[in-house]
């Protein structure tokens, strides 16, 4: 094999390795959570920080409730939140889009379904922080904390959509 042929062969192998690495990175950054069998299909796109672990558990909660969930890891979550209209005071660890609404943080699936069913004139729902016992934040041996599911609109108004009491059972549904 000539030097030129070896060089071309090495370049081709190098390009294949770069392409394979890029495809692997895309696959790792975007994944789907299988939904519960026979459940309604409601598409949810979840944006999460690559270093966050609880977002996957919340996505599994949504899939078990019948949502068709896709998860995308993003390094620019502040931009995602700003572009989605999430007020700074309501920001949490992940942001989702479903049915034209925004869902911020560990909002229970039942509340998302109610928002979609009632077609409320809001931007979306948020659970601020990461309350122990909220969907995706279950911790065996720790009591579930009470938390508020907040609704927010484009004018900056925030209202309590629902208060979830302490120890309100699996999935903290409504």
The residue among 133, 142, 77, 66 whose CA lies nearest residue 106 is 133
Q: Are residues 18 and 4 in the same domain?
A: yes
Q: What is residue 51's predicted lDDT score, i.e. its pLDDT?
A: 86
Domain that holds residue 145: 34-172
Maximum CA extent, the chain: 75
Q: What is residue 171's predicted lDDT score, i.e. its pLDDT?
A: 53
Q: Are residues 152 and 80 in the same domain?
A: yes
State the average pLDDT for the chain: 80
Handedness of CA 107, 110, 116, 122 (dihedral sign): negative
In the chain, which residue ranges form alpha helices assigned H by DSSP?
3-29, 54-64, 77-84, 109-118
Q: Which residue did the predictor score with more confidence, 85 or 34?
A: 85
Q: Are residues 96 and 61 in the same domain?
A: yes
pLDDT at 41 > cutoff 90: no
Q: Are residues 47 and 16 in the same domain?
A: no
Q: Are residues 12 and 91 in the same domain?
A: no
Surface-to-core class of residue 46, CB atoms within 10 Å of its CB (0-12 exposed, 13-18 middle, 19+ buried) = buried
Q: Are residues 47 and 125 in the same domain?
A: yes
Query: What's the domain count of the chain?
Result: 2
Q: What is residue 174's predicted lDDT score, i.e. its pLDDT?
A: 46
Tens-place pLDDT, residues 115-159:
999 999 999 999 998 999 999 999 899 999 999 999 999 999 999
Which of the given ranges, 32-36, 39-43, 156-160, has the highest pLDDT on average? 156-160
Instruction: Provide the 3-class DSSP secondary structure of residue 158.
Output: strand
Tens-place pLDDT, residues 86-105:
999 999 989 999 999 999 99
**What's the rounded Cα separation, in Å, for the pair 59 and 160?**
23
At 73, is the pLDDT very low, low, confident or very high (cuts 50, 70, 90)?
very high
At 13, is the pLDDT very low, low, confident or very high (cuts 50, 70, 90)?
very low
Alpha-carbon Rg for the chain in angstroms: 20
Q: Are residues 76 and 150 in the same domain?
A: yes
The residue among 142, 152, 147, 139 whose CA lies nearest residue 172 is 147
**What's the rounded Cα separation, in Å, for the pair 140 and 26?**
33
Q: Are residues 22 and 47 in the same domain?
A: no
pTM for this model (two decimals): 0.75
């Amino acid at each position: 094999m000539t030097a030129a042929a070896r060089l071309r062969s090495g370049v081709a192998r190098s390009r294949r390795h770069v392409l394979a690495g890029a495809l692997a990175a895309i696959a790792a950054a975007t994944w789907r959570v299988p939904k519960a069998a026979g459940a309604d299909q409601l598409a949810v796109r979840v944006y999460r920080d690559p270093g966050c672990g609880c977002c996957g558990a919340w996505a599994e909660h949504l899939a078990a409730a019948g949502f068709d969930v896709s998860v995308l890891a993003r390094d620019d979550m502040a931009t995602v939140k700003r572009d989605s209209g999430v007020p700074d005071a309501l920001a949490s660890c992940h942001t989702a889009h479903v049915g034209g609404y925004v869902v911020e943080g560990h909002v229970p699936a039942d509340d998302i379904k109610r928002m979609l069913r009632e077609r409320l004139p809001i931007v979306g729902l948020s659970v601020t922080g990461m309350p122990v016992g909220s969907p995706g934040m279950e911790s065996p041996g720790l009591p579930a904390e009470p938390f508020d599911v907040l609704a927010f609109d484009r004018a900056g108004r925030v209202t309590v959509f629902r208060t979830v009491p302490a120890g309100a059972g699996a999935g903290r549904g409504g």
